[in-house]
Amino acid sequence: MDDLKRLKELAHLNKQVIFDASELSYHDKKSVSINIRKRTPIRNTFSNKYILDKNTLAQIIYEIFYNEKKIPHHVKPIIIVIDPSEINGFHISGFYSFVIQEDKFQHILDIDKLTRNKINIHQENLHINAKVGIGYAIQKPSSAKGTLLLEQIASFEKELQHLIKLHGNLNNSISIPITDQDNSRSAHLFLYPIIAISWIYHQISLNND
C-alpha cells in the first residue's frame, strides 16, 4: 500500500490521457458477456490453464464496486487484458469497462505497441509479471482529491486481496502507472485516467528472477 501514498502527488504529474472514463466509446463486437450471481459467494475455480474465468472476474468486480452496500465513489474499474489467454472467455487484448446493466465487459480501447511497451517496462521495474490487471480510473478528475482517492482505492484493494485469496493460488500487486518514476520532473501517468492498477497473477509468476 505504500505506493498508493503517491496518489496525493497526482495533480502535479503530467498525464497521457488514453480515454475519457465518463464518456466511453464502446466496440460491441469485442465485448465479453458475463453471468453474475449477485447473492452467491465466490468459489475456488483455480485452473492451471487460466488465472481466472470471466464470470469469476465479473463476480469479484461486482463485490468490490457494485454490491448493494456500496456508496458512490470517484473511481471505476477498467480491466486491462494484456494476454486474453489468461482469462477463460476473453479472446482480445485491450481495456474493458464493466457494464453491470448489460452483464458484459465492454471493450473500449486496444493496447497498441507503444502502450504495451510502456506497461512492460513499468512491470519490469517493479519485478511484476502479470497479464491481467484491474485499473482504477478517475470518473470526475476535477472533484477527486488525492486523500479521498487514497482511502477509496485502499479500501477496494483490501477487499480485492480477500477475494483473490478465496479464489486460490493467486496474488495481486498494486502499482501506479508512472514513467520515469525516479525523475519527478519528467514523470507522467501514461494510462490516465487510470491512476492505479492491481495486477493479478499466479503466485509463482510474480518474480522473473
∠ CA 87-120-60, rounded to 5°: 30
Question: Is 98 a residue whose pLDDT tops 50?
Answer: yes
The pLDDT tens digits of the residues spanning 24-77 come to 555 556 677 776 665 554 454 545 678 899 999 999 999 898 886 665 677 889
Number of domains in the chain: 1
Q: Which residues contact 177 (CB under 8 A, 6 or more apart)?
A: 118, 119, 122, 189, 190, 191, 194, 195, 196, 197
Nearest to 192 by CA among 6, 57, 13, 31: 13
Residue 188 sits in a domain whose CATH number is 3.40.109
Q: For residue 170, what are the domain limits?
A: 2-205
SS3 state of residue 137: strand
State the pLDDT at residue 115. Answer: 93
Enter the C-alpha cell of residue 101. Answer: 446493466
The pTM (predicted TM-score) of the whole model is 0.80
pLDDT value, residue 3:
58
Of 119, 197, 118, the residue nearest 153 (C-alpha): 197
Is 200 strand, coil or helix?
Answer: strand
Tens digit of pLDDT for each residue in 158-203? Answer: 999 999 888 778 899 999 898 765 555 556 788 988 989 999 998 7
Q: What is the pLDDT of residue 48?
A: 63
Among 175, 81, 172, CA closest to 125:
175
Q: What is the pLDDT of residue 182?
A: 54
Residue pair 29/144 in contact (Cβ under 8 Å)? The answer is: no
The C-alpha cell that represents 38 in the structure block: 449477485
- Give the residue among 173, 183, 27, 180 at the shortest CA–CA distance from 94: 27
